[in-house]
Amino acid sequence: MDRGYPRPQFKRDNWQDLNGLWDFSFDDSDIGLSEKWNQDLKTDLKIVVPFCYESELSGINTKEVHKIIWYHREFTLNDYHKKIILHFGAVDYKCNIYVNGDLALMHTGGNISFHVDISEYIIIGKVNHLTLRVYDDMEDLEMPRGKQYWKKESESIYYTRTSGIWQSVWLEEVNDIHLKDVKMLPLLDDKKLQVSYQLSLVKENHCIRTIIKFKNEIIVEDTTDIVSDSFEQVFDLSSLKKFDEYIWSPESPNLFDIEFYVYNKLNIVDSVISYFGMRKISIDNNRVKLNNKDYYMKLILDQGYYPTSLLTAPTDKDLIQDIVLTKSMGFNGVRKHQKIEEERYLYFADKYGLLVWEELPSAYSFSARSKKNLKSEWKSAMNRDYNHPCIVAWVPMNESWGTPNLENSQQQIDFLDEMYYLTKKIDDSRIVISNDGWEHSKTDMLTVHDYESKYDVLKERYSSIDLLLNSKPGYKPLYNKGYEYKGEPILVTEFGGISYQKNGQKGWGYSNAGNNSDFELRLGNVIKPIFESSFVQGFCYTQLTDVEQEINGLLTYDRIPKLDLKVIKNMIENKL
């Protein structure tokens, strides 16, 4: 498989890829624990990790419902002096991880990365056994599940489920003292970078060396004694002449390299290679600003599904292709809809220059448990992805999914505010949208979902802020009770959704085109009034690709453009 290091923004050399062929078994009778499958999984069935069993590339390719599944594979290690960290990109939904039959970790959360130190369970120089028991209840509406349908067959806006391992698995070797995490905050106005370090422990006579480079030229080199397992430094980059030429944007995706070395005065005991972008996203005088300049966001809704592998991209080339096609059509960003993307996608978005709105997959019922589940996964996702310059907005909620009674429930309204302030507490350097589409509470922007297809209706609606505020494009008010418009930037973050059948794929859209000319005309009818509005500051078109029964993409499900890319680009760049 064409996959590189799964965590490109925190890269070490000593790692072992565990993707590939694993033993696999369904456990519909839930006998695995009592029969000790964690010690000896007897099965002839195989699965290709990291693809879920519901997908073609897994080698199994069945849509049958199986709540409990088991995985097993062998691995060997030969280093007696290292800690061994086992990493999972994502496993949906609950899993028990066993190493040589012993329980090493119980984890809950289907959209987030996690790891476990397995040093005490392994046998050096011999074959080791890694076994997983995964539980995923498709009818559990209190879990963050996004577009994964709780019924057997896909329909409406919901798609095939993803069960079990669906992102990369790997091992990493580290010393007892090592860098656990870094947070990098670009201070663009001051031409500085703030770095927060977190180490596994503190030892005497250890220091950390930080080197910042741009195109292999050393800009900063600093060595600091380690006196705490958590500390902060600020590095001055003002020595760079013509500083604007070093700033990150979709038009100029400049990236600095940064290297971290932990020393014991004599030897390097840990080294991590990373990167960052000097970039600022802000709202000033009710205007969206990128790097202190007005910036019109031209996003496309991206579900991140693939025909043969569902939520998991088949290869790096597929991730890159989606980004390149997006930019080729004139878009400068994506709203990743109901999906926490794998880190390699974010790496390529950083590298190629594409704005990303990261959105938490929704639960579909409101309860104390659903609130706990959502907050847990959201905090993990934000902490993991904090350093990516491509991410400019956090979207904890979408279209009131999981909070279906905002009109009458103060508790549900309070939860929207809770998620907003939780997000700001973790990261106040980015934009936060409280409830994308309608029924906003505290929010940085007013975002509107509007699938009207008639030019005249859209032209009138977006000719006046008052007209828009008094309308209900999604049949729901734009603000909850007790909240009102206070000058927030206005973006139309779902619109279009025009179905156009290509390659024989059947399905639906919010309006329908019959041929190329009709499709082009209909695209113009929904895009032109957005550009003609005096107050709309950006948009997100629905959507990048067809997905299963939805045929409202600008591309087919297998990524074939439905119109000439130049025609689409002229529309998106307002050259109609």
Give me the CATH number covering residue 76.
2.60.120.260
Instruction: Report whether pLDDT(3) > 90.
Output: no
Q: What is the pLDDT of residue 419?
A: 98
pLDDT in tens, 122-172: 998 899 999 999 999 999 999 999 999 999 899 999 999 999 999 999 999
Q: Are residues 422 and 472 in the same domain?
A: yes
Strands 355-359 and 391-395 come out as: parallel
Strand order in the sheet with 431-432: 431-432, 391-395, 355-359, 333-336, 297-302, 536-542, 490-496, 446-450
| 9 part of a folded domain | no
For residues 487 and 475, give the distance between their C-alpha atoms in angstroms, rounded to a whole number. 22
Cβ atoms 464, 503 nearer than 8 A: no
Please indicate, yes or no, if residue 195 is contained in any of the structural domains: yes
How many domains does the chain fold into? Answer: 3
Stretch 67-81: mean pLDDT: 90
Q: What local confidence, expressed as pLDDT, does residue 319 receive? A: 97
Where is average pLDDT lowest: 30-34, 81-85, 155-159, 401-405? 81-85
- Which of residues 147, 174, 201 is at a domain's end? 174
Instruction: Evaluate if residue 82 carries a pLDDT over 90.
Output: no
Last residue in a domain, options 276, 311, 337: 276
Domain that holds residue 101: 15-174
User: Does 183 lie in the same domain as 108?
Assistant: no
- Same-domain pairing of 95 and 217: no
* Beta bridge partners of residue 259, listed in sequence order: 211, 273
Summarised one tens digit per residue, pLDDT across range 489-540 is: 999 999 999 999 998 889 999 999 999 999 999 999 999 999 999 999 999 9
Query: Is pLDDT of 272 > 90?
Result: yes
Q: Are 393 and 430 contacting, i.e. CB atoms less than 8 angstroms apart?
A: yes
* Residue 281 maps to a domain: no
Residues 468 and 443 in one domain: yes
Are residues 221 and 370 part of one domain? no
> Tens digit of pLDDT for each residue in 381-417?
999 999 999 999 999 999 999 999 999 999 999 999 9
Q: What is the CA radius of gyration of the chain?
A: 24
358 shares its domain with 491: yes
Checking if the pLDDT of 80 tops 70, the result is no
pLDDT of residue 237: 97
| CATH number assigned to the domain comprising residue 340 | 3.20.20.80
Is a pLDDT exceeding 90 seen at residue 79?
no
306 and 237: one domain? no
- Return the closest-CA partner of residue 375 out of 325, 326, 419: 419
Does the residue 290 lie in any domain? Answer: no
Q: What is the pLDDT of residues 235-250, one digit of tens each?
A: 999 999 999 999 999 9
Same domain, 236 and 305: no
Residue 374 has pLDDT above 80, yes or no: yes
- Residue 1 is predicted with a pLDDT of 58
- Give the pLDDT band (50/70/90) at residue 2: low
- Supply the DSSP string of 291-327, one letter for each residue: TTEE--EEEEEE---BTTTBTS-SSHHHHHHHHHHHH
* Cβ-contact 158, 148 below 8 angstroms: yes
What CATH number did the domain enclosing 221 receive? 2.60.40.10
> Is residue 566 predicted with pLDDT exceeding 70?
yes
How far is 501 from 546, CA to CA, in rounded Å? 9
**Which residues fall within 8 angstroms of residue 322, CB to CB, at 6 or more apart?**
302, 313, 544, 559
Centre a 10 Å sphere on the Cβ of residue 420 and count the other Cβ atoms it contains.
22
